[in-house]
C-alpha cells in the first residue's frame, strides 16, 4: 500500500501515499474511522493524514462529520 523511497540527497527513506491509499483505508474500515486511525493504519503522521483527507473531502471523494473533537471519515456516496 505504501511505497518507501530513498531521498538521493539525504539518504533518508520517505513515504509516498496515494489518494487511493487513503480512500481504501476509509472504505475498508469496519466502522467509523477517525483521522488518527487512518494515520496509524497507513503509518503516516497525523498531520499528513488530516491534510490528505481534507483535500479528498474538498474534492468530493470523502465526507467527514464531527463527533466531539474527532472527524469521522466515510467515502462519498456510501451510506453510513
Q: Tell me: pLDDT of 80 over 90.
A: no
Is 36 among the domain residues? Answer: yes
The per-residue b/e assignment along 36-65, b for 16 or more CB within 10 angstroms, e otherwise, is: ebbbebbebeeeebeebbeebeeeebbbbe
Number of domains in the chain: 1
* pLDDT tens, residue by residue, 23-38: 999 999 999 999 999 9
Cβ–Cβ < 8 Å for 72, 65 = yes
**Which residues have a Cβ under 8 Å from the Cβ of 12 and sit 6 or more positions away?**
6
pLDDT band with cut points at 50, 70 and 90 for residue 77: confident
Q: Which domain holds residue 42?
A: 15-74
Query: Which one has a higher pLDDT value, 6 or 56?
Result: 56
For position 52, which CATH number holds? 1.10.10.10
Is 8 among the domain residues? Answer: no
**Which residues have a Cβ under 8 Å from the Cβ of 65 and sit 6 or more positions away?**
71, 72, 74
The whole-model pTM stands at 0.78
Amino acid at each position: 500500500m505504501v511505497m518507501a523511497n530513498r531521498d538521493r540527497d539525504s539518504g533518508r527513506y520517505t513515504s509516498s501515499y496515494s489518494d487511493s491509499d487513503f480512500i481504501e483505508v476509509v472504505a475498508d474500515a469496519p466502522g467509523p474511522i477517525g483521522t488518527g486511525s487512518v494515520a496509524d493504519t497507513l503509518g503516516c503522521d497525523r498531520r499528513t493524514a488530516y491534510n490528505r483527507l481534507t483535500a479528498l473531502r474538498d474534492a468530493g471523494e470523502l465526507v467527514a462529520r464531527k463527533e466531539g473533537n474527532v472527524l469521522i471519515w466515510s467515502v462519498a456516496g456510501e451510506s453510513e
